[in-house]
């Protein structure tokens, strides 16, 4: 049975596209359709919502006037928010943010307007918790908005590693959020499953990455309908202590770091010096799993230099020709 990909136009953003992935476990099937033929339909039940797909500097990238960034400035439908996802169960009225980056204001707006089927949702509790991958600009600095000057939450659970919790406790302005009870740190151990929302089991997987302030996690997210592995930021795959393919053999969907397509984007740097797996390398590594039909791979965390962002469609076409996908803001996956 083929997965079915569908699109809808979300109410909060007229020109944006949501791509809805319906896994084979659902009670109907359809062939993979080209985007312009996709049917408008919302994913029901627990789901993973993609809230952003750009590298930490954003797209358009801060203060950049390259051809891609200028195009994204001229046409906001091309722009992307900084990488983040949410785990959402509207029927049970739960929403958990995964990473809180500099675009958090827009991302909370999206969650508020598109997923507001919670009658008891009160002001000042926009989400039920936050899971953090690591302490880099694009992944945790939005936590500041839960503080006194903005949302001013009360005991908002923040799931993170012990080193990340130590870093937040020990350094302002994050320490103030802890001290006055805006956030409640929930330390999670690697490989020990927890349930940030009912029925969704999450397992933190240590990820090799530049760990200046704390360490880095990827998250294995398991629902009744599918298992997703989310790792928006990692060093190259050969830095992993065990082959990532072992882990990916057990998942249905992988949403992975695609900061750079190839070393051509970084003149003067050798491929092995680049602290991210290149898209071209990831495709070579995961092609057998993708070809077997057991795994879907969606790329995220694209740097503004990445040619999959255009304007030449060649790189994106190559990704799609090989059976991989470029994630879009608004994409939803059933869990």
Report the residue from 22, 56, 168, 281 that binds Zn ion according to the rule CB under 5 A.
56
Strands 227-231 vs 253-257: parallel, antiparallel or unpaired = parallel
- Give, as one character, the DSSP assignment of residue 37: G
Which of 215/332 has CB closer to Zn ion?
215
CA dist 131 and 203 (Å) reads 11
CA dist 84 and 103 (Å) reads 9
CA dist 48 and 264 (Å) reads 33
Task: Return the structure tokens found at 175.
Answer: 């320490």
Report CA Rg, the chain: 19
Minimum distance of Zn ion from residue 161's CB (angstroms): 14
Which of 54/290 has CB closer to Zn ion?
54
Q: Cβ contacts of residue 29 below 8 Å, gap of 6+?
A: 1, 2, 4
Minimum distance of Zn ion from residue 132's CB (angstroms): 11
**Quick check: 257 binds Zn ion (CB under 5 A)?**
no
**Quick check: 138 binds Zn ion (CB under 5 A)?**
yes
Positions 217 through 256 that interact with Zn ion (CB under 5 A): 233
Residue whose C-beta lies closest to Zn ion = 136
* Stretch binding Zn ion (CB under 5 A), from 55-63, 84-92, 160-168, 314-322: 55-63
Q: To 10 degrees, the CA torsion angle through 205, 83, 105, 130? A: -10
Minimum distance of Zn ion from residue 33's CB (angstroms): 32
Minimum distance of Zn ion from residue 64's CB (angstroms): 16
**Quick check: 136 binds Zn ion (CB under 5 A)?**
yes
**Quick check: 103 binds Zn ion (CB under 5 A)?**
no
**Quick check: 215 binds Zn ion (CB under 5 A)?**
no
CA dist 116 and 118 (Å) reads 5
Which of 47/174 has CB closer to Zn ion?
174
* Stretch binding Zn ion (CB under 5 A), from 7-15, 48-56, 150-158, 292-300: 48-56
The CA–CA distances, whole Å, from 276 to 60, 85, 211, 228, 257 equal 20, 20, 13, 20, 7
* Stretch binding Zn ion (CB under 5 A), from 128-136, 149-157, 238-246, 283-291: 128-136
Interface residues with Zn ion (CB under 5 A) are 56, 136, 138, 233
């Amino acid at each position: 049975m083929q997965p079915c990909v569908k699109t809808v136009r979300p109410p909060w953003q007229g020109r944006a596209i949501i791509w809805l992935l319906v896994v084979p476990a659902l009670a109907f099937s359809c062939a993979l359709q080209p985007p312009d033929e996709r049917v408008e339909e919302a994913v029901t039940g627990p789901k993973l919502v993609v809230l952003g797909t750009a590298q930490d500097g954003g797209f358009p990238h801060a203060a950049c006037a390259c051809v891609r960034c200028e195009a994204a400035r001229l046409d906001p439908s091309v722009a992307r928010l900084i990488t983040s996802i949410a785990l959402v169960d509207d029927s049970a009225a739960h929403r958990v943010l995964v990473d809180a980056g500099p675009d958090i204001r827009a991302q909370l707006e999206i969650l508020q307007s598109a997923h507001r089927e919670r009658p008891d949702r009160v002001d000042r509790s926009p989400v039920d918790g936050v899971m953090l991958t690591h302490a880099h600009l694009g992944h945790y600095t939005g936590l500041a908005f839960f503080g006194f000057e903005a949302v001013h939450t009360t005991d908002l659970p923040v799931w993170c590693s012990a080193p990340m919790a130590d870093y937040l406790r020990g350094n302002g302005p994050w320490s103030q959020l802890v001290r006055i009870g805006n956030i409640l740190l929930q330390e999670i151990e690697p490989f020990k499953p927890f349930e940030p929302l009912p029925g969704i089991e999450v397992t933190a997987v240590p990820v090799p990455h530049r760990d200046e302030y704390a360490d880095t996690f990827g998250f294995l997210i398991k629902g009744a309908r599918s298992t997703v592995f989310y790792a928006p930021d990692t060093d190259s795959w050969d830095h992993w202590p065990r082959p990532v393919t072992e882990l990916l053999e057990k998942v249905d969907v992988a949403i992975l770091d695609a900061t750079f397509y190839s070393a051509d984007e970084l003149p003067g740097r050798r491929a092995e010096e680049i602290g991210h797996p290149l898209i071209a390398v990831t495709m070579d590594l995961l092609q057998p799993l993708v070809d077997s039909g057991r795994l879907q791979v969606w790329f995220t965390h694209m740097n503004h230099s990445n040619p999959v962002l255009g304007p030449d469609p060649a790189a994106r076409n190559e990704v799609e020709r090989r059976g991989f996908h470029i994630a879009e803001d608004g994409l939803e996956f059933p869990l």
